[in-house]
A = this chain, B = another copy of it.
């Protein structure tokens, strides 16, 4: 027999306990698009405790729509290994790999879960915690609080490192820039992405995956946008590589 109150308790208790047990972790990832999912996965695989917060109801970010709503993505050779790691199917085409953008999202989410990362959706990062010149946590709230125009205070979550993987919006970096006035870029500010140039974007994104402020790493589109590299298009290899690179760098440092 199905007892409704038991079910209600089960759901709320399990979810809330998981949240409360993970309010002080190694890594908080802001943004559940491809770069964030890849970074979270590789970090969790290396044994780090990782929590990912996504502001929307669904994870996957800009990958769902492929290019211009044609649900395919193209991945260059360098990132083939990551496709394989996540068991994403592809066909080969003159040096590229073409995959279903929908399958790719499903597999990234699946892989991230299997690696042990805790994922929470419908939650936005409203602010960061900065202590002694270092980001050491985020301030979170239900996204719907903002959508519904309510005035409700947020709560906090702590971590050794925060990853900014919110893509173009650079939501976390913008807060840090505004509050501290100084990021680790040439200008000290978010530089903003240049016009789309797939080739450059794909190669630069890996170099731009770095610590932009003590305790805060950027990866994926956010990295190129922050450091003034070209915009990325529907070639998703750089995004995946950048996610993996972020994981490597952080793993070496915490």
Contact = CB atoms under 8 A, between A and B. Distances in A.
A151 B68 contact: no
A84 interface: no
Contact of A155 (B8, B62, B120, B176): B8
A247 interface: no
Contact of A153 (B19, B62, B114): B62
Contacts of A89: 113-114
> Quick one: which of A71, A119, A148, A202 has the most chain B CB within 10 A?
A71
A155 B12 contact: yes
Given A141-B68, A233-B156, A12 B2 contact: no
Identical chains bound together, number: 8
18 contacts: A1-B199, A4-B199, A7-B198, A7-B234, A11-B66, A11-B72, A12-B68, A18-B72, A57-B65, A59-B106, A64-B152, A65-B153, A70-B155, A71-B120, A103-B110, A107-B110, A128-B196, A151-B167
Interface of A: 1-2, 4-16, 18-20, 23-24, 57-62, 64-74, 76, 87, 89, 91, 93-94, 96, 98, 100, 102-103, 105-110, 112-114, 119-122, 127-131, 137, 139-145, 147-148, 150-158, 167, 175-176, 179, 194-199, 202, 231-235
